[in-house]
Amino acid sequence: MVRMFPMVAFHHESQRLAVGTHDGPIAIYDVRTSAKWKILEGHSGNVTCLSFDSKGNMLASYSAVDLTLRLWKVGNTGFFSTIMGGTGKSANTINLEPIRNIKNPHQLLLMKKHQSIY
Q: Is residue 2 part of a domain?
A: no
Task: Tell me the three state secondary structure of residue 106.
Answer: helix
Beta bridge partners of 8: 19
Q: Is residue 1 part of a domain?
A: no
> Given this model, what pLDDT does residue 88 score?
66
* Residue stretches of the chain with pLDDT short of 70: 1-3, 76-89, 99-118
> Given this model, what pLDDT does residue 93 score?
87
- C-alpha 71/C-alpha 59 separation (Å) is 6
- The parent domain of residue 60 ranges over 7-114
Q: Is residue 95 part of a domain?
A: yes
In 3-state terms the chain splits into helix, strand, coil percentages (rounded to 5) of: 15, 35, 50
For the chain, strand residue ranges (E) read 7-11, 16-20, 26-30, 35-40, 49-52, 58-63, 68-73, 87-88, 92-95
Q: Is residue 83 part of a domain?
A: yes
> Given this model, what pLDDT does residue 12 score?
94
> Given this model, what pLDDT does residue 4 score?
72
